[in-house]
């Protein structure tokens, strides 16, 4: 079995290759499939009750596309995944998650291997694009409440996928007492308080998958 992280290291930092990103996206798809019913239950309380099924459909398409058209770089893998999510996932989730991955992929360029910090920087670019597209910020009870702390944890000196996953989980849980200010949940006003945001929850699953394949 290939290593999760390339044996080559740059300045003591592990280097990630296309295989790593491919296996991350595959692990993310499996996690979303396992948690699809829970994501839909969360969305039924404050959304359209379709987040789980939509995300599952999108990531199933991602894994199929990766097998059919194996990319030759981490950036290409992320761009391919982003395109699939935009075309296959309905509602706001498709454009938002698709933008996250496409922008991150474009930021990485054609490099065959990237460092952890390069990946963190690319994901930060993707998160900033999501914030701009959705007109939202941390504290609005959206996926950004998990994504922003996760990327910050990954980007810090000595950052790790484990720390990023933990930060994403905490961010998702922190949405429970929040008042939704953006998205479908914002229409509920104070009734949105007391419910965990489904987008933040699915974002946390992506970082849990990172931790899984990096072990």
**29 vs 206: CA distance, rounded Å:** 9
Torsion angle, CA of 172/177/180/183, rounded to 10 degrees?
30
Q: Tens digits of per-residue pLDDT, 42-82?
A: 999 988 899 999 999 999 999 999 999 999 999 999 999 99
Sign (positive or negative) of CA dihedral 92, 80, 104, 210: positive
Q: What is the reported pLDDT for 12?
A: 54
Parse the chain into domains and list their residue ranges.
14-214
Task: Tell me how far CA of residue 198 lies from CA of 37, 81, 105, 145, 204, in angstroms.
Answer: 11, 20, 24, 11, 10
Query: Half-sphere exposure of 112 toward its Cβ, with a 13 Å CA cutoff?
Result: 3
Provide the whole-model pTM. Answer: 0.92
pLDDT of residue 14: 72
Q: Please list, in sequence order, all residues whose beta carbon lies within 8 angstroms of the beta carbon of residue 45, skipping any fewer than 6 positions away.
A: 195
DSSP per position, 86-133: HHH--TTHHHHHHHHHHHHHHHHTT-SEEEHHHHHHHHHHHHHHHHHH
pLDDT value of position 13: 63
The Cα–Cα gap between 102 and 75 comes to 8
If we measure between CA atoms, which residue out of 37, 40, 87 comes closest to residue 59? 87
pLDDT along the chain (215 residues), means of 10: 42 81 98 97 92 95 96 98 93 93 98 96 98 96 98 91 97 97 85 94 98 93
Report pLDDT for 7.
40
21: Cα within 13 Å, side-chain hemisphere:
32
CA–CA separation, 19 and 4 (whole Å): 8
CA atoms of 51 and 38, how far apart (whole Å): 9
pLDDT value, residue 6: 44
Do 182 and 136 touch, CB atoms closer than 8 A? yes
176 three-class SS: coil
Q: What is the DSSP secondary structure assignment for residue 177, as one 8-state letter?
A: T
Q: Could you tell me which CATH number the domain at 14-214 has?
A: 1.25.40.340
């Amino acid at each position: 079995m290939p290593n999760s992280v390339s044996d080559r290291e740059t300045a003591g930092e592990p280097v990630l290759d296309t295989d790593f990103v491919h296996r991350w996206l595959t692990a993310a798809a499996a996690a979303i499939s396992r948690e699809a019913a829970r994501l839909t239950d969360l969305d039924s309380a404050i959304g359209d009750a379709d987040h789980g099924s939509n995300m599952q459909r999108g990531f199933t398409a991602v894994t199929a596309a990766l097998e059919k058209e194996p990319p030759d770089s981490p950036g290409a893998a992320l761009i391919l995944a982003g395109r699939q999510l935009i075309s296959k996932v309905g509602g706001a989730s498709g454009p938002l998650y698709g933008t996250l991955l496409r922008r991150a992929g474009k930021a990485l360029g054609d490099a065959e291997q990237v460092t952890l910090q390069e990946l963190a920087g690319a994901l930060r670019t993707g998160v900033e694009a999501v914030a701009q597209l959705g007109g939202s910020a941390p504290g609005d009870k959206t996926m950004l409440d998990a994504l922003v702390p996760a990327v910050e944890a990954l980007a810090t000196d000595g950052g790790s996928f484990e720390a990023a996953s933990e930060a994403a989980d905490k961010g998702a849980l922190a949405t429970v007492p929040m008042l939704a200010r953006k998205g479908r949940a914002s229409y509920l006003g104070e009734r949105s308080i007391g419910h965990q945001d489904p987008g933040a929850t699915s974002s946390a699953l992506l970082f849990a998958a990172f931790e899984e394949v990096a072990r």
